[in-house]
């Protein structure tokens, strides 16, 4: 057996062993948390479960009924889906178990470590377990602005890359500085994600899409998501549509900072009155990208001459 082949085989075995160890560790952590909740008493355990968004069977049935009256979500069983910035993984779980009835085409990721996720969202552990049982890949410590750093993504492309309710979570109270912080996040995300979209020029059957869902109104409208995407020169606007939580039974919106009793609200109350919208972007051809970049640069110069304030991120 050639040395190179032996080395590659050994590396594959080690990676498999490491993956198995990580899954076992997550299962152990989940079991410990359940035992701790039970030890605290059934009332507290039930209260914590409900407060942190594990949807009751009655609520789930109501959501499914509402879902039947809506147009189907824009995700299909022939897609390859990358979810970034997941919080409690309830969206990923709904997508796998309620919408697509399969999880093997889903890669769900979060910036948090597994431990941090458990501390921020006590309903997340069960969601992760159900996702993995359904065949989904769940990854932690994935920075959506640096996807090229993820070794397992090398050579991969996705037909849908989804970032729901992105937020820098910087805790900046000044609105202008807060807006700039989130603009930088989104600009970096678009640049990071574009190369991982499926591309017909590379032999893929369909061009990939980036889906970004944000609340409407201030300060979110000031982010100017469309301009941030097209300003990269890599992406073009395709369409946008209202985001309806009812389309995803079991989905529970969570803030970046986590779920805090007495402060946070369940049942998607925090987005219900914000008319959230999903923006869809597609990859441009090399020629279109060059033309878009030139147009964006000319537009920025024109706005500067007119005395308009242009952020560093736009430049």
**What is the mean predicted confidence (pLDDT) over 280-286?**
85
Predicted TM-score (pTM) of the model is 0.72
Nearest residue to 114 (alpha-carbon basis) of 49, 182, 33, 45: 33
Over residues 48-104, the pLDDT tens digits come to: 444 444 555 666 666 666 666 788 899 999 999 999 999 999 999 999 999 999 999
pLDDT of residue 292: 61
- For the chain, the three-class secondary structure string (H helix, E strand, C coil) is CCHHHHHHHHHHHHHHHHHHHHHHHHHHHHHHHHHHHHHCCHHHHHHHHHHCCCCCHHHHHHHHHHHCCCCCCCCCCCCCEEEECCCCCHHHHHHHHHHCCCCCCEEEECCCCHHHHHHHCCCHHHHHHHHHHCCCEEECCCCCCCHHHCHHHCCCCECEEEEECCCCCCCCCCHHHHHHHHHHHHHHHHHHHHHHECCHHHCCCCCCEEEEEECCCCCHHHHCHHHHHHCCCCEEEEEEEECCHHHCCCCCCCCCCCCCCCCCCCCCHHHHCCCCEEEEEEECCHHHHHHHHHHHHHHHHHHHHCCCCCCCCCC
**What is the mean predicted confidence (pLDDT) over 275-301?**
77
Neighbours of 302 (CB within 10 A): 10
More reliable by pLDDT, 54 or 221: 221
Domain boundaries, the chain: 58-305
**What is the mean predicted confidence (pLDDT) over 165-170?**
84
pLDDT of residue 152: 95
Over residues 248-278, the pLDDT tens digits come to: 999 988 876 555 555 455 666 778 788 999 9
More reliable by pLDDT, 66 or 131: 131
Q: Which CATH architecture has domain 58-305?
A: 3-Layer(aba) Sandwich (3.40)
User: Please, which pLDDT band fits residue 169 given cuts at 50, 70 and 90?
Assistant: confident
Contacts of 113 (CB under 8 A, 6+ apart): 140, 141
Q: Are 190 and 232 in contact (CB under 8 A)?
A: yes
Residue 43 pLDDT > 60: no
Residue 216 pLDDT > 50: yes
């Amino acid at each position: 057996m050639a040395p190179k082949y032996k080395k590659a085989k050994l590396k594959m075995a080690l990676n498999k062993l490491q993956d198995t160890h990580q899954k076992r560790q997550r299962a152990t952590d989940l079991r410990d948390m359940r035992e701790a909740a039970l030890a605290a008493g059934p009332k507290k355990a039930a209260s914590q479960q409900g407060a942190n968004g594990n949807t009751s069977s009655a609520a789930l049935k109501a959501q499914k009924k509402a879902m039947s009256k809506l147009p189907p979500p824009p995700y299909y069983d022939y897609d390859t889906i990358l979810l970034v910035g997941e919080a409690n993984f309830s969206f990923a779980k709904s997508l796998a178990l309620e919408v697509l009835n399969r999880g093997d085409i889903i890669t769900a990721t979060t910036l948090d470590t597994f431990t941090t996720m458990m501390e921020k969202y006590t309903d997340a552990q069960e969601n992760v377990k159900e996702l993995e049982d359904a065949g989904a890949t769940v990854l932690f410590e994935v920075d959506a602005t640096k996807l090229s750093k993820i070794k397992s993504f090398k050579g991969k492309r996705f037909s849908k890359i989804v970032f729901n309710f992105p937020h820098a979570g910087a805790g900046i109270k000044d609105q202008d500085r807060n807006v700039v912080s989130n603009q930088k996040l989104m600009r970096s995300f678009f640049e990071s994600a574009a190369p991982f979209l499926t591309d017909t020029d590379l032999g893929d059957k369909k061009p990939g899409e980036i889906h970004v869902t944000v609340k409407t109104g201030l300060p979110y409208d000031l982010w100017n998501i469309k301009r941030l995407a097209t300003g990269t020169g890599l992406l073009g606007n395709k369409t946008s549509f209202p985001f309806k939580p009812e389309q995803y039974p079991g989905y529970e919106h969570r803030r970046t900072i986590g779920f805090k009793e007495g402060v946070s609200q369940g049942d998607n109350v925090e987005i219900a009155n914000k008319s959230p919208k999903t923006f869809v972007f597609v990859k441009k051809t090399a020629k279109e990208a060059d033309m878009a970049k030139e147009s964006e640069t000319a537009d920025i110069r024109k706005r500067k001459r007119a005395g308009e304030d242009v952020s560093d991120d736009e430049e």
